Amino acid sequence: MMSVRLTPYLVLPGTAGEAIAFYEKALDAQVLFKQTFGEMPANPEFPIGEEQKHLVAHAMVQVGESQLMFSDTDAGRPIQLGDQVTICITTKDASLSKRYFEGLKDGGTVIMDLHEAFFSPAYGQVKDKFGVTFHLFTEGEAMN
């Protein structure tokens, strides 16, 4: 059986760090990973202002047997209705991520093309025809 997980992904307007601390207390959440925009490799195409470096770029917490992912909105990108909770589909197979991405974009909108990123061999974002945003995340090292 292929390994596929669907994980709720909460995008917050600068309050992801507060939300994570809240869930640590309220739900006994354990932080598995947390990286701020300031801790990410610098990208000249997307410069980060000093006031945004403390914001959460990506985090994962464990609650019981489930996981939640978090990030703050990118600088200057307000949250659109329906985007506050998105779904991350995680696989270990880039070809499966591509198949899911292609299926979901039928009648939908590509937010970020499926591509190799520093954190994944195949990552992309697509909003399906129902307005639901999916992140396709392939586990494993990118071929840098």
Asked if residue 103 belongs to a domain, the reply is yes
> Average pLDDT, stretch 21-49?
90
Asked if residue 105 belongs to a domain, the reply is yes
> Average pLDDT, stretch 17-21?
93
Q: Which pLDDT belongs to residue 58?
A: 94
How many Å apart are CA 23 and CA 58, to the nearest integer?
16
Asked if residue 65 belongs to a domain, the reply is yes
* pTM reported for the whole predicted model: 0.71
Structurally, the chain folds into a number of domains equal to 1
Asked if residue 143 belongs to a domain, the reply is no
CATH assignment of the domain containing 117: 3.10.180.10
Asked if residue 46 belongs to a domain, the reply is no
Q: Quickly count: other Cβ atoms within 10 Å of residue 138's Cβ.
A: 24
Quote the domain boundaries for residue 90. Answer: 5-41+51-138
Asked if residue 102 belongs to a domain, the reply is yes
